């Protein structure tokens, strides 16, 4: 939407701080929202699964277009954001007076829905890989015993930039992710404390050592992206690691050193 068209709705601008929830799933939805500045994530209720990330110019809160429709998602500000919050009666009046606004909303909603569907499909695949609760800790201990160790002469590390924590890579297969308190799963590199926003998947990525080289792979079911030096990785595809390479799990940067 052009700045000239926004002039009439700027009186509806509301400021949200980083981490502030704009509305939660099942809240009464009586307003339509336009993101004017910042970044907003739409999530599945109180869960940490991000369905789509919105940027300047994106719309949300389309549930307000239907009478007595509660919010389908939870909307949370990832950073300080300016949001144009338009009551439904005012939006209806604007759309009747300017059809370009209605067409713009339809186009943006179509783009957003396609992204949501794609992420839901990934989430569905991840749900097929539920870790059995019984015996999880015993299996983890067994895996640690049977997993081959990297030659002690090979000195490779990960530096987690948010906390400056240094983790030495000692196994031929190392999982990176967040602890699952329900199943008891604990990844080799537990990023729970560094990932306060809970965007990283439980088993997000793994680093393998073979033929005297290290490789990084994104795990099946990782929904928020894995990047190597800024390039998004395909799931379960090996990428060789070089000294000073930067691995990014969603938003968390990790430097590989050897």
Together in a domain, 83 and 145: no
Distance CA 36, CA 54 (A): 10
In this prediction the pTM is 0.46
Together in a domain, 62 and 145: no
What's the confidence (pLDDT) of residue 249? 94
Distance CA 1, CA 56 (A): 10
- Reported as a single tens digit per residue, the pLDDT across 180-225 is 888 888 999 999 999 988 899 999 999 999 999 999 999 998 888 9
DSSP 83: E
Beta bridge partners of residue 33, listed in sequence order:
60, 85
Token look-up 């809160």 returns: 61
Show which of 74, 92, 127 is a domain's final residue.
Answer: 127
- Reported as a single tens digit per residue, the pLDDT across 55-90 is 888 888 888 877 777 888 889 998 999 999 988 888
Together in a domain, 214 and 114: no
Q: Which of 19-28, 94-103, 246-255 has the lowest mean pLDDT?
A: 94-103
Q: Which positions ≥6 away from 28 have C-beta within 8 Å? A: 70, 71
Domain count, the chain: 2
Structural domain of residue 150, as residue ranges?
136-257
Q: Residue 143 belongs to a domain with what CATH number?
A: 2.60.200.20
Together in a domain, 119 and 144: no
Together in a domain, 149 and 226: yes
For range 128-136, the mean pLDDT: 48
Show which of 105, 127, 149 is a domain's final residue.
Answer: 127
């Amino acid at each position: 939407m052009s700045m000239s068209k926004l002039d009439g709705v700027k009186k509806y601008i509301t400021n949200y701080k980083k981490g502030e929830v704009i509305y939660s799933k099942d809240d009464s939805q009586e307003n339509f929202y336009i993101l004017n500045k910042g970044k907003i994530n739409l999530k599945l209720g109180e869960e940490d699964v991000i369905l789509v990330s919105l940027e300047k110019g994106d719309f949300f809160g389309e549930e307000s277009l239907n009478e007595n429709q509660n919010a389908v998602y939870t909307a949370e500000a990832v950073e300080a954001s300016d949001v144009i919050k338009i009551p439904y009666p005012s939006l209806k009046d604007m759309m009747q007076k300017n059809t370009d606004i209605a067409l713009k909303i339809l186009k943006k909603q179509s783009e957003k829905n396609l992204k949501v569907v794609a992420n839901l499909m990934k989430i569905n695949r991840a749900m097929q890989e539920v870790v059995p609760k019984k015996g999880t800790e015993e299996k983890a201990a067994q895996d640690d015993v049977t997993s081959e160790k990297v030659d002690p002469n090979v000195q490779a590390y990960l530096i987690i930039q948010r906390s400056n924590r240094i983790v030495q890579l000692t196994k031929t297969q190392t999982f990176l992710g967040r602890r699952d308190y329900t199943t008891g799963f604990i990844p080799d590199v537990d990023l729970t404390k560094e990932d306060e926003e809970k965007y990283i998947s439980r088993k997000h990525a793994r680093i393998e050592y073979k033929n005297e080289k290290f490789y990084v792979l994104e795990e099946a079911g990782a929904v928020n992206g894995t990047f190597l030096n800024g390039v998004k990785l395909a799931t379960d595809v090996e990428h060789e690691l070089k000294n000073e390479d930067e691995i990014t799990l969603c938003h968390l940067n990790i430097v590989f050193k050897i």
